[in-house]
Amino acid sequence: MSAIDQPVRKKDAMALVTGKPVYTQDIAPKDCLVVKLLGSPHAHALIKEIDIGPALQVPGIECILTYKDVPDSRFTLAGQTYPEPSPYDRLILDQRLRYVGDAVAIVAGENEKAVEEALDLIKVQYEVLQPVLDFRRALDHEVIIHPEENWKSLAPVGADNRRNLCASEEVEYGDVDQVISECEWIIEQTYHTKANQQVMMETFRTFTHLDTFGRLVCVSSTQVPFHVRRILANAIGIPKSQIRVIKPRIGGGFGAKQTAVSEIYPAIVTWKTGKPAMIIYTRRESFTSSSPRHEMEIRVRLGADKEGIIRGIDVYTLSNTGAYGEHGPTTVGLSGHKSIPLYGKVEAFRFGYDVVYTNVMSAGAYRGYGATQGCFAVESAVNELAAKMQMDPVRIREINMVRQGQVMPAYYGEKLNSCALDRCMAKAKAMIGWDDKYPCKDMGNGKIRSVGVAMTMQGSGISGVDTASVSIKVNDDGFYSMSIGATDMGTGCDTSLAQIAAECLDCSVENIIVSGVDTDASPYDTGSYASSTAYVTGNAVVKTCAALRQRIKAEGSAQLGCPVEDIEIDGEKVYRVDTDESISLKDLANGAMCGNSNALSATESFSSPVSPPPFVVGMAEVEIDKETGKVDLIDYVAVVDCGTVINTNLARVQTEGGIAQGIGMALYEDIKYTEKGQMVSNSLMQYKIPSRLDVGTIRVAFESSYEPTGPFGAKSIGEVVINTPSPAIANAVYNGVHVNIRELPITAEKVYMGMHKEK
């Protein structure tokens, strides 16, 4: 039986559901120092004086560090391939504080109570500075957030710290102004998405200790162990060879843990004191001092001819990276490059952006990574275009959507080798009953039911950058152990990659054991982000298996005394095609452990020149209370083209989970600040993620294309699934009550106010 396209149980499933101690905090040594941070009460300030004397007197306090105690060389916490596009704008602790919650001091002690007490006793005198809180006014503001001389940008991303500019670019293809001016139908609108929080259930956490050789061991809930090794080396100023990073099971990441939010603090404590140290972020800290989605304001200009063919798209994105630049220069790109190419008949486009610093929490990576924001804007604009033309929004997509075989100028000129977007649309339409339900139905009880649509694409890894290596070796009795550097964060890649290996090696998935990531032992991988794991690491698995098969054959040819060309493997045994003489894999493996100088193992790396896009069509059915504007989500249908589905269960659950997060973004999740820049939505009490009563019914189907460059035809699925709910639900609201919501979330209040303004 094939191991691909199967609902294989996750290898760690039973351990997780029975509550085994497998997460970072569960496996930490008992004697770890408790590490906590003192956060800035001001959005922008300089530390004039800081007195830690009384705090140090608290019994049990081991060390207190301030900006005077840390290296003065800047780095970024972004988990990206070197040289990172994100600017080097951070210190472990800085004299200048750039948002409410920015770290002022690190306190480590024997127990939580002592540390809390010491935190209270640290006396700080601040010189309070004017903050920049409105990202629309940040560029060239008189207040400069990063005036420091040693700020640096390693990559040509158009950054200029003197202008509060973290990145800037404009690309144009064809003459977009000319093309749009010729169009019958033009839409120009601005959309605003907020800094959503990932809210993985396990907050940020790390423990560190020194090993037998005096090296720093960092055990962390991270998506990017190899990047963490470099970031720690940069931050503390020690050689990378002195650092080992281990990833245990992770309680969710969604991109949050693609930034090294928590690692530097216990690491410097351990490095200074020699003692084990652990930091566990509270939920509040996870809300106020972490790495949420970039807030973006996106202006879209669309032009279509009288038939509704979209000829020109002009997108400008203003992105708010907050106090620091993690992922600032890169997320923004996706807001255009993953939204414009969906429209295959576009003759000209322009995509420009500025990414600005402000005095709010630094942003980071969140599932969708800019594509989500762009999708809301461009898909909403297309829906507005359809409405203006009195055209069915499904129809306008059917006649404009990109098709398999097309070259996509707005997607770096890549050719689309696999695309079932048309089938996804048809299937979604049938599943939700679009033709019966569009645009809406008055239920006669003060409620209206209506439907809405959106489509989206993402990538599969970062082309030419993401790199995955995989090692597989044959062990006693012929079982395989596979080492990967990609991090399973609940996504199940340890299992789905084992499925790929099992398919290549003709064995059962159980016959392949997978070890978690340890930078000392695992082969290099850029990490689990950018939807790279199934595609990039999956391809590395395929390549490694091919190499390993060659080695096994070579060993077989030696044992069976024939040329290697005459050798075949069927998963159980190695045999001669000419004589049927064979040797079992078990005997071969056991034989290889005695007097053998031919290692039965292989390691290969893979990097892709292309990043084939997966697609999703999302359709929402909502019920709107005409009197209050309250929107209840009834049904959400998502049809996915992720290429070949490797694990049917995991792909489905990825989709359902991504849709639910997208629903949270669309309807409930909002970040609010006071006028002084303090975050109000700093708990699960105030920042409302959906409960199981808030997601309606989510229904998922797959319409697979076959990606010729992917492992068994697979592309990616991790991120693309979060994008459609915001524009699809906004469209449903419009189709029900003719209100366009252009700023998320879509609250009852906005809908009600809209109904009474536009009427």
What is the nearest approach in angstroms of ligand FES to the Cβ of residue 420? 29
> CA-CA distance, 315 to 89, in Å (whole number)?
28
Examine residue 129 and tell whether it contacts another protein (CB under 8 A). Answer: no
328 binds another protein (CB under 8 A): no
Under the binding rule (CB under 6 A), the answer on residue 571 touching ligand FES is no
Return the one option of ligand FES, another protein, none that residue 265 interacts with (CB less than 5 to 8 A, by type). none
Q: Which of 252, 344, 433, 591 binds ligand FES (CB under 6 A)?
A: 252
Write each residue from 193 to 222 as x if it is in contact with ligand FES (CB under 6 A), else as -, in one continuous string.
--------x---------------------
17 binds ligand FES (CB under 6 A): no
Helices (H) and strands (E) in the chain, counts: 18, 29
**Closest CA relative to residue 618, chosen from 412, 419, 376, 404:** 376
Applying CB under 8 A, among 1, 693, 757, 759 the residue interacting with another protein is 693
Selected from 51, 577, 697, 758, the binder of another protein by CB under 8 A is 697
Query: According to CB under 8 A, which one of 39, 328, 657, 710 is a site residue for another protein?
Result: 657
SS3 747: coil
> Which is closer to ligand FES, CB of 12 or CB of 703?
12
Least CB distance from residue 620 to another protein, whole Å? 14
Question: Rounded CA gap, 413 and 463, in Å?
Answer: 12
Residue closer to another protein, measured from CB, 302 or 751 = 751
If binding is defined by CB under 8 A, does position 202 make contact with another protein? Answer: yes
CB nearer to another protein: give 336 or 492. Answer: 492
Closest CA to 624 of 453, 436, 751: 751
Report if residue 12 touches another protein, rule: CB under 8 A.
yes
Rule CB under 8 A: choose which of 59, 446, 464, 708 binds another protein: 446
Q: Which of 95, 694, 738, 743 binds another protein (CB under 8 A)?
A: 694
Task: Give one DSSP letter per residue of 399-425, joined into a string.
Answer: HHB--TT-EEGGGTTEE-----HHHHH
Q: Which does 506 bind (CB under 5 to 8 A by kind): ligand FES, another protein, none?
A: none
Q: Is 653 in the site for another protein (CB under 8 A)?
A: yes
Interface with another protein, residue 41, by CB under 8 A: no
- What is the total count of residues that contact ligand FES (CB under 6 A)? 3
CA distances 142 to 129, 139, 297, 356, Å, are 12, 9, 22, 14
Show Cβ contacts of residue 434 under 8 Å, excluding neighbours closer than 6 positions: 394, 428, 451, 453, 619
Task: In angstroms, give the least distance from the CB of 493 to another protein.
Answer: 11
Closest CA to 735 of 457, 456, 434: 434
Q: Please work out the total of residues on this chain that contact another protein, with binding judged by CB under 8 A.
A: 77
Residue 183 to residue 402: CA distance in whole angstroms: 20
Burial classification of residue 30, based on how many CB atoms lie within 10 Å of its CB (0-12 exposed, 13-18 middle, 19 or more buried): exposed
- Taking residues 490 to 509 in sequence order and writing x for each that binds ligand FES by CB under 6 A, - otherwise, the string is x-------------------
Query: 251 vs 727, which CB is nearer to ligand FES?
Result: 251
When the beta carbons of 292 and 490 are compared against another protein, the nearer one is 490
CA–CA gap between residue 605 and residue 683 (Å, rounded): 42
Tokens of 730: 């906004």
Tell me 142's DSSP state.
S
How does DSSP classify residue 338?
T
Q: Residue 309 Cβ, how far from another protein at the closest point, in Å? A: 36
Half-sphere exposure of 299 (CA within 13 A, CB side): 9
Q: What whole-number distance in Å separates Cα of residue 126 and Cα of residue 129?
A: 9
Ranges within 729-748 binding another protein (CB under 8 A): 747-748
- 436 token code pair: 């019966």
Q: Does 685 bind ligand FES (CB under 6 A)?
A: no
- Say how far apart CA 339 and CA 580 lie, in whole Å: 56
Q: Does 9 bind ligand FES (CB under 6 A)?
A: no
Which residues in 94-123 contact another protein (CB under 8 A)?
116
